[in-house]
Structure 1
């Protein structure tokens, strides 16, 4: 049941997102569209409540509960950025706004951008860890919660690997390509007869 709910929440995320952006830009109802976009976090609350109820009703803690915690963590860490990015593109395509600026491509500006994205992953790992830790305390039986602890390690491995990748942009910043040197053309002299 938990896996089905995760899938339903993911599909619901994209449906609410599409409905919110379409209402905002196609139907020209920005407040209603914003209200639909603000309903996105309710999906995670529903998932959290159902997961807790599943554990309370005696379900064996398993990978499904760990996956639910990681999904909620990812949404907390990266959901706002994803919605903001898509909103900028929808405003451009559907609302006539200027094209949103892409991420920086070179140098320390790119390193800072990658660092901000990594902070989202870090927030997601912290959120997932707190939820998993609360689930472990809630179950109260260390012999049954080993899989939940494994998901904590997975969250931190992911954050660590992503952190190393983000750090590599600061250590080895990509340089902008050199501008091609153009020679000044000499004026062409035309001989007159």
Structure 2
């Protein structure tokens, strides 16, 4: 396997994630098949396993780790940490905008927005812990600094991004988000 195939596996995983969610929501709301909808929504971790296996096989066969390999770890961490909240987000919007049921998804302001963003940052830290743990595991498994330099670079960048996300989170507590003013 080469880098482009791993990159394609990541892209396919992302597309499949949203396709499976959409099918699950359609089954649930348009056809009233709640169990079938739940089945499709529960398939999202299978997509992560596919990506993990694809990446692992490639590296086991001797490939030098690339940014695509590292992004597979990032994707899996983000998918596991944010997956349920992304599904809930999609569910609320699908129910309101497509089926015209339920309440309009609320916009968050002030301390409510700050707390919500903080919870998102905590999920980001969890995603980082999962993804970085997998990537460090790959570094230890490959045991060749030259073959894992791309992974180390992605880990350094992701560490900085988590720090920047914390700074943004803190700003929402200092300067809470206000509703947009409509006209004067």
Q: Does the alignment reach a TM-score above 0.5?
A: yes
Q: Distance in 2 between matches of 1:30 and 1:169?
A: 38
CA contact (8 A) 2:96 2:105 kept: no
CA contact (8 A) 2:109 2:176 kept: no
Q: Distance in 1 between matches of 2:179 and 2:7?
A: 45
Matched, 1:45 2:49: yes
1:70 is aligned to 74
Question: What is the TM-score of this pair, normalised by structure 1?
Answer: 0.85
Q: Give aligned pairs, total.
A: 177
Aligned-pair distance for 1:18?
1.0
Q: Distance in 2 between matches of 1:177 and 1:68?
A: 38
Instruction: List runs of 5+ in structure 2 lacking aligned partners.
Output: none
Match 1:165 to one of 158, 163, 168:
168
Question: What is the TM-score of this pair, normalised by structure 2?
Answer: 0.89
Residue 142 of structure 1 aligns to a residue in which SS? coil
Which of 73-82 and 167-176 deviates more? Answer: 167-176
Instruction: Map Cα deviations across residues 86-125 of structure 1 (whole Å, 9 max, x no partner).
Output: 111222244553224424212x222101101111211111
Q: Distance in 1 between matches of 2:105 and 2:10?
A: 32
Residue 106 of structure 2 aligns to a residue in which SS? coil
Match 2:6 to one of 2, 12, 19:
2
Matched, 1:123 2:130: no
CA RMSD of the aligned region, Å?
Answer: 1.8
Instruction: List runs of 5+ in structure 1 lacking aligned partners.
Output: 179-193
